[in-house]
Amino acid sequence: DVKVTQSSRYLVKRTGEKVFLECVQDMDHENMFWYRQDPGLGLRLIYFSYDVKMKEKGDIPEGYSVSREKKERFSLILESASTNQTSMYLCASSSPYNEQFFGPGTRLTVL
C-alpha cells in the first residue's frame, strides 16, 4: 500500500515562530503536494514539486516555502507563523498522471 506520513497530527505554535511540516512517501512518487484545508473552502494547493529540488507555486503560496532535497521527502515551511495559518495541512504524492495519495494531515494551531 502507498503510505504517506506526516510528522505530526497536531501542532501548536506561537505567532512569529518558524514552523516545519514534514511529509514522507514510500512509493517512489515523483510528484508531491501540500494543501491546506479550511471549512467551506475545500482543499487549496500551496506548493507542489515534480522532482527533487523542483518546486512550483500553487494557488496560495504566500507565507509559505517548501524544500525537496530527497525524492521521498517534501517539507512545508512557515517562515513566520501567523494566526491566519491555523488550518489542517495535507500532503499528497503521486506518480505522473495518476491519482494522488494523501497523508493523515497535520492540524496546526497558531496562537
Partner 1 sequence: AQKVTQAQTEISVVEKEDVTLDCVYETRDTTYYLFWYKQPPSGELVFLIRRNSFDEQNEISGRYSWNFQKSTSSFNFTITASQVVDSAVYFCALRLIQGAQKLVFGQGTRLTINP
Interface residues toward partner 1, by CB under 8 A: 9, 31, 33, 35, 40-45, 48, 50, 56, 58, 88, 90, 92, 94, 96-97, 99-105, 107
Q: Which one, 77 or 88, has the nearer CB to partner 1?
A: 88
Residue 17 identity: E
We find the least distance from the C-beta atom of residue 15 to partner 1, in angstroms, to be 25
We find the least distance from the C-beta atom of residue 73 to partner 1, in angstroms, to be 19
Positive/negative CA dihedral, 18, 109, 94, 104? positive
Cα-flanking dihedrals φ and ψ of residue 41, to 5°? Answer: -115, -5
We find the least distance from the C-beta atom of residue 89 to partner 1, in angstroms, to be 11
Going from the C-alpha of 34 to that of each of 12, 22, 81, 83, the distances in angstroms are 19, 10, 16, 19
